[in-house]
Amino acid sequence: MDQHSLEEAVRSSWLVRESQAAKKVLSGRTDTGLRGAVTGGGHLDAITELLADVFRAAGFAPDAVRCKSGVTLPGYFRAAKKWDLVVIHEGALVAAIELKSHFGPSFGNNSNNRSEEAVGSAVDLRQAYDHGLLGAVRPWLGYLLLVEEEPRSLRRSTPRSGTFPVDPAFGETSYLDRYVLLCKRLRNAGLYDATCLLASSREGDAFVRQPDPEVGFAAFGAAILARIEEIGLLPRN
């Protein structure tokens, strides 16, 4: 969970995205460019593996930590959903983590989509547990979001509502600021046990930045270990 490993994982994300975009351009696919990079999938695999290593280092067996191509779990409002990282120990769902990214150029509607996805995924899985679909142990849920840091994601403005005033917390904020608020509120509301926001730019010294340590990568890793210890599911060596 050191900074160097994190930077390498994020660098891999950029490389995979660019490679996918180039392949789709050459193949003549219509969803080319940035969209082609996103729809190709797999660009967050290195970060997923970094998180998986936290569980492996805690002593979980390799086959208990599942993150290749996502793992399907039952839902309540929908039949099932793939989660990026799932940990199962002795028949219990220990953890499920969702990883998402948001790269330019569109930060308007897409930021709302990311927020709705994050809320919906957590509510669905929480309800599945409450209705006895996921075993006896309350699963630990995590959410990680990687956002491109560029002028459009950093530009400040005040959102408008046509009916009621917008929460003052969103006043004169950038999309990146609002993602910080999203991650904190997802955690504070108990939808996720921990959240993490990473910002990355193509250029400059701050290749990977953590806008707020409260929802930073180190805090996310610490929360994973704290929760595992709390519920007493650390495997015995």
Q: Whole-structure pTM over 0.85, yes or no? A: yes
Side-by-side strand order, sheet with 208-209: 65-66, 85-89, 92-102, 140-148, 194-200, 208-209
**φ and ψ at 230, to 5 degrees?**
-60, -45
What are the pLDDT digits (tens) for 20-64? 755 655 555 555 444 444 444 588 999 999 999 988 888 888 889
CA distance 34 to 43: 12
**β-bridge partners, 143:** 98, 195
pLDDT in tens, 157-169: 988 888 899 999 9
Sign of the dihedral defined by the CA atoms of residues 108, 81, 218, 39, in that order: negative
Q: Which residues sit opposite 142 in a β-bridge? A: 97, 194
Q: What is the mean pLDDT of residues 72-94?
A: 94
Where along the chain do its domains lie? 47-230
31: Cβ contacts below 8 Å, ≥ 6 apart: 24, 39
**Helix, strand, or coil here: 180?**
helix
